[in-house]
Structure 1
Amino acid sequence: MERFADELDLAQYQTDLLTTSAIAAIRQQITAEPGREHCLDCGAPIPLARLRQVPSATRCTLCQEDHEAQISRHRRH
């Protein structure tokens, strides 16, 4: 039963992260200047090379790596 509760907590946490990220991405798209994207986490401009490779990128490479590591850590617990 305890494992189920832990898995449920993890699922809720992941849902909250995704929801928060989605809302932030939408907010950024609404307020962003055309052709100029900024990282959701640090606010720095996302390099053009990254946007060419991943047009839907909402984070710079470093922040995206940190975000994925955080999700991965929570999945292991």
Structure 2
Amino acid sequence: MATGWAPEGAVQDQIDSTVDSAVQHARSRLPAGDSLTHCEECEAPIPEARRAALPGVRLCTLCQGERDEARSEGYNRRGSKDSQLR
């Protein structure tokens, strides 16, 4: 596909670069270090499998789910223009 003065594949290279940057940013925000044995919020034990899968985990699955849900309430998941205008 001709894109004027841009070389072939430049658009795809830019998309790939953007995705790579987003992945690196997301990975940098993951917890690291030693995991806790009990949840910071509710003191429930954190299973060994969760601690092994996510180094640096500090919350049980229930508390983490509640935190994730609270963060995502502002997102438009329907994707229609009507829902974006409200």
TM-score category of the 2 structures, normalised to the smaller one: 0.3 to 0.5
TM-score, length-scaled by structure 2: 0.42
Structure ID, larger Rg: 2
TM-score, length-scaled by structure 1: 0.47
Larger fraction in helix: 1
RCO (CA 8 Å, sep 6+): is it higher in 1 or 2? Answer: 1
